[in-house]
Amino acid sequence: MEPCKYSIILPAYNEGVRIGDTLDNLLAYIKQRHWDAEVIVVNDGSTDNTAELVQNRAIQNPALRLIENPGNRGKGYSVRNGMLRAGGDVLLFSDADLSSPISEADKLFSAIAGGADIAIGSRWVDPKLQLRPQPLYRRIFGRIFNLALRLILGLNFKDTQCGFKAFTRRSAQAIFPLQQIERWGFDPELLYLAERLGFTVEEVPVAWSHREGTRINPLRDGIKMFMEMLVIRWNSLCGKYSATAEALRPL
């Protein structure tokens, strides 16, 4: 782990079809902007050629490195694994399909530079920025889930699930060791912990395009995410987040 200004973490599971183009776009943009940055791909037990493609590009790009999970553990585990092994002052995680173009990272970094501890990309602060919206049924499920988050966890954000979030190093080092949700429902847990710890979270409108091939099943995974929401609430009521939260509270 080498210190740098920015760390960009990509969780990846069987992304062989698109990870090459994603990395080419990322690395070209980093070079264009002259960023002091690293790109970390966290391979979540892929059974295709994802790891091979990343390793081949890493030979020519020292800013790129591959981290291997111990089998398939989930997106939440992958993001945590990358965040805790990153060297950046500002740490961003993005979906491997770049649903939000990497150029949108400038908005999140500007929010961090302006004093936010955490900046989260949002598809719903300014819906006009959705270049290719989700299908209607996904939008309906998303709005229902968002309402449940407000009622159960008190999270008053328009969009918790956009896979485009940036953290200061201090906030990442405080939040991610406390994270317990390892699969799709991890985003609300991160934001719940951020609020408990007193970190400032800014919701930033970003351009976004729906990509085909998403692995989330709205009904099946929606039920699992709802159950994970209840787990977060239960963990909080049982004091599982409290033991170390007070010690990690920002000054």
pLDDT in tens, 102-124: 999 999 999 999 999 999 999 88
Q: Which pLDDT band holds residue 213 (cuts at 50, 70, 90)?
A: low
Average pLDDT over residues 83-104: 96
| E strand or H helix at 247 | helix 242-248
Q: Is the sign of the CA dihedral 90, 93, 97, 99 positive or negative?
A: negative
Are residues 202 and 110 in contact, defined by beta-carbon separation less than 8 angstroms? no
Interatomic CA distance for residues 134 and 209, integer angstroms: 8
Give pLDDT, residue 251: 41
Are residues 194 and 118 in contact, defined by beta-carbon separation less than 8 angstroms? yes
Give pLDDT, residue 72: 97
Interatomic CA distance for residues 123 and 158, integer angstroms: 8
Give residues with Cβ within 8 angstroms of 3, minimum separation 6: 87, 88, 89
Give pLDDT, residue 214: 62
Interatomic CA distance for residues 78 and 72, integer angstroms: 9
Q: What are 138-181's pLDDT values in tens digits? A: 778 878 888 888 899 999 999 999 999 999 999 999 999 999 99
Are residues 63 and 24 in contact, defined by beta-carbon separation less than 8 angstroms? no
Give pLDDT, residue 232: 94
Residue 20 has pLDDT above 50, yes or no: yes
The position carrying tokens 């969780």 is: 11
Average pLDDT over residues 201-227: 80
Nearest to 37 by CA among 62, 69, 58: 62
| E strand or H helix at 6 | strand 4-12
* Reported CATH class of domain 4-248: alpha beta
Give pLDDT, residue 243: 52
Give pLDDT, residue 159: 93
Q: What is the pTM of this model?
A: 0.89
Residue 247 has pLDDT above 50, yes or no: no
Exposed / middle / buried, residue 231 (Cβ in 10 Å: 0-12, 13-18, 19+): middle
Average pLDDT over residues 10-22: 97
Q: How confident is the prediction for the chain on average, in pLDDT?
A: 90
Q: Which pLDDT band holds residue 250 (cuts at 50, 70, 90)?
A: very low
